[in-house]
Amino acid sequence: MTTTSNHPDPVEAEIEHALDPGRFVSDRGCFRFVDSVEQVAAAIGRLVTDDPERAATLYETFLAGCYEKAEEVDDSSGSFGMFAQSLINGWITARQAAAACPQQTTALLLAWMDNDQYGFCHQLEREIATVLDEAGLAAFIDQIRGRFEAADQATTASGGSDQASQAARRRRAEMLRWAEALRSLYAAQGDLDVYVELAERTGPTTDDCLTVANLLVTRGDPAQALSWVERGLELDAHRPYPSFAAHSLTELKPRLLADLGRGEQALETAWADYRKHPDRYSYDHLMTFVPQAERSAWHDRAITAALDGDRYLPAVIELLLHTDETGRLGHLTACTSDNSLEGIGHHAAEQAGTALEPGHPGEAARIWRAQGMRILKAGKSRYYGAALRCFEHAKRCYRHAGRPAQWQQVVDEVYAQHGRKMSFLPRFDEIVTGTDPTPQPSFLDQASARWSPSGTK
């Protein structure tokens, strides 16, 4: 779609200014850059109601500019690519508002997908399935179906030679690509029967089973949904690693059992999943199937199972914090080695140390000590301030717990193993001796001193 005016659209100048051709955008500057181009895109979006043809042309120009700019952007965050996809969504909306031909719109979309060297159209069908109107979605499906059938026929016709086999593999990959696109569009349509037919034709995946199960739930057929859930879990059992879809299937299964009036089986299923991965999320999921009168007993059973055996320590700590099990958290900390405590992430450790300080100061001290040591051993000087705060907490907690000898062991260990960290030791000395740190002038005080008579250069 092009304009007939001989005069350039003034918004085109804004697009060029925002894209700033010739300037490289680093990863750190990408979010600010994307924010600036989004402001121009928002202005184009406001034109859709009154002048949709103009808006569509500007969206198309903007997208072309993004392809020209792509080599000058470090898009490690993916934000620029997402912005480009948002332009495609806006372009579709404008085309539809202008009553443009749906077949032409979708033909252009496919052309962009075919020549997408920067991945702006990667799995585009998932993004635009809810943007296309009924006529546009039907046209898109029809054109992709044609590509799928052509690739499928070419795959079938491939011969048995090595060269033909390589061509067959390429054709099959193309066929599966378009089959995946079709499934996304059928799912957006809610066309269950056609989706199932295509999935059976190409071989259902775990993702297919999840999609079909969810569509059946929407139709109010939990029994059939359950059969697809079990089929998906069976497929996933043969994978070396569980898929993301399998996690959703595992959560969906007990819900369906409960809907079918099989509450005890639902609870058993949720319990089996919890025992495999005891954490705060599987705990919450489990407790939704526990009768109110049995919640206390099941809570104890769940926490005991989490503490039993070789478990992922950070997940168990988060679970104990989530369930206010401070006493058991203290016992777990007391039974855990210093090296293991050092492996806990900062967020969970800080929460655990803070929760344990009032009633279990000795265990809190060990967690604070572990975090301080963790930073020192990593040798990241920019985090030394955090390490010092951890050691301050540790000293206070050791004192409250009546364990001065253990604090002295920490001090000796720091001096022995980290005695060359000169940017850290002076401030650590102040913690050890209990002296107030030397007050440092504020940033503004230092800045003002530059203009004082003694500081004039």
Residue ranges in 190-337 assigned as alpha helix (H): 192-202, 206-218, 222-236, 244-259, 263-276, 280-287, 295-307, 313-322, 326-334
Q: Quote the percentage of the chain above a pLDDT of 70.
A: 93
* Degrees to nearest 5, angle at CA 51 with 47 and 54: 85
Q: Residue 456: pLDDT above 60?
A: no
Average of pLDDT values for 144-162? 78
Q: Residue 437: pLDDT above 80?
A: no
Which 8-state DSSP code applies to residue 161? S
pTM score, whole prediction: 0.76
pLDDT at 436: 55
Distance of CA 216 to the CA centre of its chain: 27
**Distance of CA 189 to CAs 133, 156, 184, 453, Å?**
11, 29, 9, 76
Polymer length in residues for the chain: 457
DSSP 328-351: HHHHHHHTS-HHHHTTS-HHHHHH
Measured between alpha carbons, how far is 93 from 122 in angstroms, rounded to an integer?
19
Average of pLDDT values for 171-192? 91
pLDDT at 440: 60
pLDDT tens sequence across 44-56:
999 999 999 999 9
pLDDT at 448: 74
pLDDT tens sequence across 192-238:
999 999 999 999 999 999 999 999 999 999 999 999 999 999 999 98
pLDDT at 3: 47
pLDDT at 6: 62
pLDDT tens sequence across 57-85:
999 999 999 999 999 999 999 999 999 99
pLDDT at 189: 87
pLDDT at 159: 53
Q: Quote the percentage of the chain above a pLDDT of 90.
A: 80
pLDDT at 432: 93
